[in-house]
Amino acid sequence: MQISPSILSADFANLERELDRISNADWAHVDVMDGHFVPNLTIGLPVVEALARVTPVPMDCHLMIDDPDRWAPSYAEAGAQSVTFHVEAAGDPRQLARNLRGAGARAGMALKPATPFAPYADLLPELDMVLVMTVEPGFGGQSFMADQMPKVREVREAIRRHGGEIWVQVDGGVSAKTIEECAEAGADVFVAGSAVYGADDAAGAVEELRALVARHT
C-alpha cells in the first residue's frame, strides 16, 4: 500500500519545499497536462528535470497529454521513476510501455472514468501499473467517483489471473473518507492531492492515509 501525494495541490512557487513536506510518502505524483488532452495546462519536461534534482521521493509522472508515444519516454529520461500514459491518447500502447521500461521507468496505463478496462487487459504483461481515474482528469479538488470501484475490482481480478506484481492506482478525490473503499476494491497505490497538501501537516496526513489502508493489507 503506497501513498502518492499529488503536487497539483501544492504551492507551485515553492515546489522544492512542498516536496520536502511529503518526504515520508512513497511517491510524488506529478500531473503533466498539455491543455489539449485535458483542458488544463500544468508543467512539462523542464520542471520535471528540475524536480528530479531535489525530490526526496521518487516521481510518478501522470501524463495527460496528446501523443504520449512521442513524449512519454522523455519523462523517464528526465528522472521520473514511473511514467503513466493515457491509453485513450496512445497510438501504440504496447510499444510505448516497452519504450518506457527500456528508458528505465515503470510503465503505467491510465483509464478515464468512461474508458473500459477489458479491451486493454491483454496489455498487462507490458505494464507495471494500471491507473483507474476516480475523477475526470484535468483538475484537482473534484469529488470522488465511487462508481469506478467495480473497474478497480475488475483490474485487480485480471491481475490475479495474470500473475506478477502490477500495481493498481486510484487518482481523484482520494481522502480519509474514501481511501478505505479504494483499498477494499483492490487498489494499492493512492494518489491524494488536497487531502495531503490541504492539511497543515502534510506528512501527518500521509501517515493518516497510510494507517487507514493498513487495515486492508
pTM, two decimal places: 0.95
134-173 tens-digit pLDDT: 998 876 667 899 999 999 999 999 999 998 899 999 999 9
Best CA proximity match to 78, nearest among 61, 57, 96: 61
Q: Which DSSP symbol is given to 34?
A: B
All domains of the chain, ordered by start, with CATH? 2-214 (3.20.20.70)
pLDDT of residue 141: 66
Best CA proximity match to 85, nearest among 43, 42, 46, 137: 137
The residue-averaged pLDDT of 182-194 equals 96
- Sorting pLDDT into bands at 50, 70 and 90, what band is 215? confident
What does the alpha-carbon distance between residue 13 and residue 145 come to, in Å, rounded to a whole number? Answer: 30
CA distances from 138 to 38, 70, 207 (A): 5, 20, 27
Residue 62 pLDDT > 90: yes
Catalytic residues: 31, 171
Determine which helix (DSSP H) or strand (DSSP E) holds 54, and give its type and residue range: helix 45-54
Tell the residue number behind the cell numbers 485480471, with chain if given: 158
